[in-house]
Structure 1
């Protein structure tokens, strides 16, 4: 405890770090306050909650703003969708590939395109949000005027959330966009924890303690999955320039076991409503269609979870393949005079990196699939639906990833000022590792 208090004192003794932390907290408070501001012309008492399916997932990411019909009802999600589209385009379309290689000017162009696409996606999603999730009896003004004004406010709210995320990144600590998602998720944790405790009561208090212990070990497992890397040794050739010798040192190319992050779960989750939706169209005519619709509407069924896990494994390989290019890594190493000991530069190096990447992605994808279906197992074991979301899935992965990234940034500030860091060793794993040019 004494060491922890000393670390906190060191953090707030650095003026720049203290300012960034306060800026982050202030901007996050503004974001949370906005999630409770209801769209003009809506009666909050007539709104329905969204706990299951894709709507429930969005409501979790947005900290309840989705169900509240808030001015931040769509939050930062349209911007994330636009970013994913642009990321895929930079892999598949040569025009965007060329733009990405133009340096700072190319990134600025991509950012501008992302913002425009965000507005378009927000308008499209806003129409569906206003018409499908807000009941007619909750609208207190003229419906057409409400829809037009609500669309404008939702677009403004999303752009404001995007601005908040960028300000957190520039003036605060951590990745601002990820921080907004994390604060939305974690804001629901206290309520879910209290509700679970009240449900268990005195007779089942031991079961509640067992839930907390299980949650702790699951979090530790997710931390291991997030931090796990396979380091490939890279040797650089010695060069003599002006009588001085450069290079010759050994560095490492770290390949993450879970290089895809939470994206495979998000992709798979977006497709999991299709079997139930498609089968429900024929449920009145065929018994087998009704059975499929019922089965895949239940997130605790083994069929649902088996398909969910398989999709996550497939999407993990797909997303890893489009984000990590072994040929480009090989070319960059060759250009900078680096090589893998025992492997010839060029195509052989690319094949070696691809082979290693495939070997570590398989267990990583399987473990990611297990983490994704853990909430279903928790619900089967009797855990409340809201609290079970924190036993795995996208919510837990995002929280762990953002917290680790934030801790690493705080750690870097402490180490630069020669203060002992947050960990006993004074450094978080991966912070001091030398990374090869890739």
Structure 2
């Protein structure tokens, strides 16, 4: 790994891309600490220090994807989450709306239009979420129990509120632009890199909070045990994320124009975790809604008390069971949308490809569907267990609420993908040098 990074910095083109990516990351982290106009920054810091543990239970996912900027109410408070949500919605609608499905088949031109729709939807979601965040901050509900929570926004006029919402929306658009710049001119997928940075930014503080709240040997025992379990989980995640089943595919000899292509063999790589981290994000977002409704409910009803006591944190049994079932369900749901056996079998048949032992067409599609269904089961169970295991295991450790399985999945997954892209670009550079 260190050899790869040394070679990367000795390659001029790749070095420029890496330095550009690092520059964009610095700008992104700087914006995550710039408060929006109309917010009393000292009062925000007072509330964060007073009730950070309570709010991390409810706003853990949103604060995670913003790198801690959400609770600080900065210009990048929403982070990359609106763009992720918009991308998921567009991806789901592609399987339902014929127009979007046709754009998907048009190649690069269709992809450009789909990207534009995703941008528009991102701005719309940023407006809605920004308005919700500002309204919550004005009412003092963002930090329940803080004595100065109602004074976070001293001026509650309509003009100030509109300016705050526009500032958050503009910050979200800037984050989206930074991500696209990294994709075009940097290394790796820009949105994934920003999610990686936001997630990793919260880990040092969470680990240090575990050390400070520990009872044995000034907290060093708790700190060391968390690190040891974390390394084991990282190794497990790397093993599963790299695991795949390769379906062999053979292509017969074919003639295209004046060129003749001989017999060739390849394979279809089917990952064990074909859905990635998307099912976990879906499940967390859905389970966030009941807790949010309970927080904003003014009545002292029984359902509110039940949700607050049994359906807020990852250590509650009802929360754990529901989260696990939703993760498994969304894993199958997302794989069924993104992996179409009929379409793959049709494309193989058009190009003269076939799977040994199966006829081209419907027989191949049935076989691919059978294989992907069997492989989704271990992938879905793995996602549910990895997502919940750190939260449940560290439930009694103060400050461990941010050490979720989502963090490990994102950091390891994005890290592996980025290293792969750097390695592939190094190989391309070596090939071009050999050809010259």
Which TM class, normalised by the smaller chain length?
0.7 to 0.9
CA–CA distance in 2 between the matches of 1:100 and 1:241? 25
Tell me the equivalent position of 1:252. Answer: 267
CA contact (8 A) 1:339 1:345 kept: yes
Aligned counterpart in structure 2 of residue 389 of structure 1, from 402, 407, 412: 402
CA–CA distance in 2 between the matches of 1:240 and 1:127? 60
| TM-score using structure 1 length | 0.87
Tell me the equivalent position of 1:352. Answer: 367
CA–CA distance in 2 between the matches of 1:94 and 1:254? 28
Tell me the equivalent position of 2:123. Answer: 119
CA–CA distance in 2 between the matches of 1:363 and 1:297? 27
Q: CA RMSD in A?
A: 2.4
CA–CA distance in 2 between the matches of 1:395 and 1:199? 21
CA contact (8 A) 1:277 1:293 kept: no
SS at match of 2:324: helix
Q: CA deviation at 1:207?
A: 4.1
Q: CA deviation at 1:11?
A: 1.8
Tell me the equivalent position of 1:88. Answer: 92
CA–CA distance in 2 between the matches of 1:8 and 1:307? 42
Aligned counterpart in structure 2 of residue 399 of structure 1, from 411, 419, 428: 411
CA contact (8 A) 1:275 1:293 kept: no
| TM-score using structure 2 length | 0.88
Distance of aligned partners of 1:140 and 1:219 in 2 relative to their CA distance in 1, 3 Å threshold: same
The answer to whether the aligner puts 1:234 opposite 2:249 as a matched pair is: yes
- Which runs of no fewer than 5 residues in structure 1 stay unpaired? 420-438
CA contact (8 A) 2:245 2:272 kept: yes
Structural mapping, 1:2-401, within 5 Å: 6-47=3-44, 48-49=47-48, 51-134=55-138, 135=140, 136-200=150-214, 202=217, 205-239=220-254, 245-274=260-289, 284=300, 290-291=305-306, 293-380=308-395, 382-386=396-400, 388-390=401-403, 392-401=404-413
* Paired positions, count: 412
Distance of aligned partners of 1:283 and 1:229 in 2 relative to their CA distance in 1, 3 Å threshold: farther
Tell me the equivalent position of 2:147. Answer: none
CA contact (8 A) 2:58 2:312 kept: no
Q: CA deviation at 1:187?
A: 1.0
CA–CA distance in 2 between the matches of 1:275 and 1:105? 40
Distance of aligned partners of 1:154 and 1:242 in 2 relative to their CA distance in 1, 3 Å threshold: closer
Tell me the equivalent position of 1:426. Answer: none
CA contact (8 A) 2:58 2:292 kept: no
SS at match of 2:315: coil
Tell me the equivalent position of 2:143. Answer: none
CA contact (8 A) 2:212 2:219 kept: no
CA–CA distance in 1 between the matches of 2:8 and 2:338? 35
CA contact (8 A) 1:282 1:290 kept: no
- Runs of 4+ aligned structure 1 residues displaced above 6 Å come to 241-244, 277-283
